[in-house]
Chains A and B, each alone.
Chain A
Amino acid sequence: AQRVTQPEKLLSVFKGAPVELKCNYSYSGSPELFWYVQYSRQRLQLLLRHISRESIKGFTADLNKGETSFHLKKPFAQEEDSAMYYCALSADNYGQNFVFGPGTRLSVLP
């Protein structure tokens, strides 16, 4: 069965500190992994996907198939990074029909 876990419901860090949001998945094939973000009073939006290997807003994520993880990292957190972050898995080729994790709320303190 496809499943995404995010062990931390809430993560608080100080501005300028490194951030790592954890994500683990279970899937028998080769999934596409994504991170979605939801800022306060905004709709859910894509942050990054593993296949593009991009760095968006300073965030990066590496897919570790051995550990079935896709942790999201940023070296220096900013207050505007405070948001809800969802890790998601897609079994199709077009990044659709996701299985989402429960989400982690990141709070960056001044």
Chain B
Amino acid sequence: ETGVTQSPTHLIKTRGQQVTLRCSSQSGHNTVSWYQQALGQGPQFIFQYYREEENGRGNFPPRFSGLQFPNYSSELNVNALELDDSALYLCASSQTGEWGYTFGSGTRLTVV
């Protein structure tokens, strides 16, 4: 598949635990962005990675961190999970200098 793929699709974690979400970028894309979409709200920008470095960040605490790998795939890590972290996490990939995004289907995280 050449689109953006995310894994897992669903996840249940306990408060205080840590979680890692994964994203494979669309072929040819070198930039990845992560969004959090709480129930009934629009997506909120978490951060963007380019060339394996964070390249912009939204209003999220440091316990939200990420990685981008040489093959441009990416991880979103969240430490010390809180109940409010329950949301759909979206990954979007893009190519620097070119217009637009491709979104993945998301990972639904439930914190209990």
Contact = CB atoms under 8 A, between A and B. Distances in A.
Asked if chains A and B come from one complex, the reply is yes
Interface of A: 4, 9, 43-46, 86, 88, 94-103
A44 B99 contact: no
B100 A97 contact: no
Contacts of B68: none
17 contacts: A43-B103, A44-B43, A44-B90, A44-B103, A46-B101, A86-B43, A94-B96, A94-B97, A94-B99, A94-B100, A96-B101, A98-B45, A100-B42, A102-B41, A102-B42, A103-B41, A103-B42
Interface centre among B94, B99, B103, B105 (most CB of A within 10 A): B99
B33 interface: yes
A100 B99 contact: no
Contacts of B99: 94-95
B104 interface: yes
Contacts of A100: 35, 42-44
Nearest to A86: B42
